[in-house]
């Protein structure tokens, strides 16, 4: 019995001690305190166990919580929460939550989240999320997400996503996605996707896709997919496809699918392209696009058209050589490459009518079967004429539309007849003492001739032998 009573007494004492400890840990509200430095103040060491409406620390201070205003000459630490305004010359630390405003000359730190405003000369840190505004001379850091605005001279970092605006002189980082606007002098990074706008002087990175607008002086990267607009001085990269517009000073790259518009000296689409490519060099694996440029290379053109001077197709390619006679090029050889639906042609020939002229042309064409034996072959050709010795050159250019009909002798050979209509523009330049070149025995049905220029409209014909 005595042992049982002792055991019950011990348990009772423990409970009483625990209750007293809880009462001691509960912060009591006190109107105010003044200190020179902790613990030299009106509350001494007990200041950390009170909640104050007003706290004045000439140098440093340490209080339990704040529900009002605190001003410190150098440094202040609040053990729990702040609801109000904290101003310090050097730094301030809040062990709990902050709702209101922190202003410090060096650093402001909140360990359990902030709702309001942090302003510091060097660094703002909030460890469990921020809702409001952070302004610092160097760095803003929020460890569990940010909703609002970050402005810093160097770097803004949000570790679990950002919703709002980041503005920095160097780098913005949102590690688990960004929804809003990032503006920096160097780099913007949204590690798990970006929805909104990234503007930087050097590089924008959205590691798991981008929906919106990326503008940079050097490079934009959307590592999984891009939906929207990429504009850069050097390169745009959408590693798992692009839907929208890419414009760059050097190269656009989309690795799987592209639906939209690419404009750059070099456009690279490793997968399927649907839309428009405009550049000196266009490259796709499967093209359902309109390509305009100098060189276009496609593994396959499914439903697309390539308006390129050099048009290379690896699968389903159309190639044709044609030896022809016409009133405007007495002997000519043409080479055609691309697809049967749309190809590029190059021609070179000689005109022996009066002046013995070279004829060089480039154009586009189509060959469409109209029966088992006959094909229809319209072509648009731009040609220039030069004297055989390349002396006393006149600027003579002819734009000609040919409407060809091809009789297929077999799968490889064909005979063609092509009436045509043309527009001729001639300029003697400095050779005003010479006659205009005569390029055909068939007289033009309209001619407007002046001293040094001539414009004519006329018709012609061509017969040829083609080999596919």
Predicted pLDDT at 430 = 64
Residues 48, 339: Cα–Cα separation, whole Å: 82
Q: Is the pLDDT of residue 433 over 80?
A: no
Predicted pLDDT at 431 = 57
Burial 285-301 (b: 16+ CB within 10 A, else e): bbbbbbbbbebbbbebb
Q: Is the pLDDT of residue 432 over 70?
A: no
Strand 28-37 relative to strand 40-41: parallel, antiparallel, unpaired?
A: antiparallel
Among the ranges given (207-211, 266-270, 393-397), the one the predictor scored with the smallest mean pLDDT: 207-211
Among the ranges given (12-26, 162-176, 249-263), the one the predictor scored with the smallest mean pLDDT: 12-26
Among the ranges given (127-141, 215-229, 405-419), the one the predictor scored with the smallest mean pLDDT: 215-229
Q: Is 308 exposed, middle or buried (0-12, 13-18, 19+ CB in 10 A)?
A: buried
Tens of pLDDT along 357-383? 999 999 999 999 998 899 999 999 999
Q: What are phi and psi of 10, to 5 degrees?
A: -65, -45
| Domain spans in the chain, listed from the N-terminal domain onward | 91-314, 318-467
HSE-CB of 35 using CA atoms within 13 angstroms: 29
What is the value of pTM for the model shown?
0.72
Structure tokens at 42: 């009106």
Percentage of the residues of the chain whose pLDDT score is greater than 90: 47
Of residues 284 and 9, more confidently modeled: 284
Tens of pLDDT along 143-164? 887 888 999 999 988 887 788 8
Residues 155 and 173: beta-carbon distance below 8 Å: yes
pLDDT, averaged across the chain: 86
Tens of pLDDT along 212-235? 888 999 998 887 777 888 999 999
> Looking at 176-265, which runs of residues are DSSP E strands?
178-184, 187-190, 194-200, 203-206, 210-216, 219-222, 226-232, 235-238, 242-248, 251-254, 257-263
Predicted pLDDT at 391 = 79
CA distances, 39 to each of 42, 43, 90, 216, 325 (Å): 9, 8, 18, 53, 107
Percentage of the residues of the chain whose pLDDT score is greater than 70: 92
318-467 — its CATH code? 2.40.160
HSE-CB of 3 using CA atoms within 13 angstroms: 0
Tens of pLDDT along 289-326? 888 989 998 888 878 888 888 888 888 788 999 999 99
Predicted pLDDT at 449 = 85
Predicted pLDDT at 64 = 92
């Amino acid at each position: 019995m005595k042992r049982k009573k002792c055991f019950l007494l011990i348990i009772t004492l423990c409970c009483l001690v625990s209750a007293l400890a809880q009462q001691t840990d509960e912060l009591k509200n006190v109107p105010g305190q003044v200190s020179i430095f902790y613990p030299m103040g009106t509350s001494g060491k007990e200041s950390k166990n009170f909640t104050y409406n007003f706290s004045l620390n000439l140098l440093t201070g340490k209080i339990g919580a704040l529900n009002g205003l605190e001003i410190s000459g150098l440094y202040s630490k609040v053990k729990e929460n702040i609801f109000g305004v904290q101003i310090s010359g050097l730094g301030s630390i809040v062990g709990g939550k902050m709702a209101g405003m922190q202003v410090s000359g060096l650093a402001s730190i909140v360990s359990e989240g902030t709702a309001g405003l942090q302003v510091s000369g060097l660094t703002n840190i909030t460890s469990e999320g921020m809702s409001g505004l952070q302004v610092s001379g160097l760095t803003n850091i929020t460890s569990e997400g940010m909703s609002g605005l970050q402005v810093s001279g160097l770097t803004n970092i949000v570790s679990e996503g950002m919703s709002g605006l980041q503005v920095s002189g160097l780098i913005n980082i949102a590690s688990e996605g960004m929804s809003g606007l990032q503006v920096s002098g160097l780099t913007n990074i949204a590690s798990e996707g970006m929805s909104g706008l990234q503007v930087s002087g050097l590089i924008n990175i959205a590691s798991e896709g981008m929906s919106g607008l990326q503008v940079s002086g050097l490079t934009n990267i959307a590592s999984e997919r891009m939906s929207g607009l990429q504009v850069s001085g050097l390169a745009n990269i959408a590693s798992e496809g692009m839907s929208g517009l890419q414009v760059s000073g050097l190269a656009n790259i989309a690795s799987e699918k592209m639906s939209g518009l690419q404009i750059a000296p070099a456009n690279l689409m490793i997968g399927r392209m649907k839309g428009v490519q405009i550049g000196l060099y266009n490259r796709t694996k499967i093209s359902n696009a309109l390509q305009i440029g100098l060189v276009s290379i496609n593994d396959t053109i499914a439903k697309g058209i390539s308006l390129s001077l050099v048009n290379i197709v690896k699968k389903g390619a159309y190639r044709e050589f044609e030896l022809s006679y016409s009133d405007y090029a007495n002997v000519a050889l043409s080479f055609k490459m691309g697809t049967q639906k749309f190809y590029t042609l190059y021609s070179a020939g000689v005109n022996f009518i009066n002046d013995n002229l070279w004829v060089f042309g480039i154009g586009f064409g189509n060959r469409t079967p109209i029966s088992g034996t006959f094909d229809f072959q319209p072509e648009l050709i731009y040609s220039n004429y030069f004297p055989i010795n390349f002396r006393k050159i006149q600027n003579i250019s002819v734009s000609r539309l040919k409407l060809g009909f091809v009789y297929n002798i077999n799968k490889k050979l064909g005979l063609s007849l092509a009436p045509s209509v043309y527009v001729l523009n001639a300029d003697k330049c400095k050779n005003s003492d010479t006659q205009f070149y005569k390029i055909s025995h068939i007289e033009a049905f309209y001619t407007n001739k002046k001293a040094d220029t001539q414009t004519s409209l006329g018709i012609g014909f061509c017969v040829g032998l083609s080999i596919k």
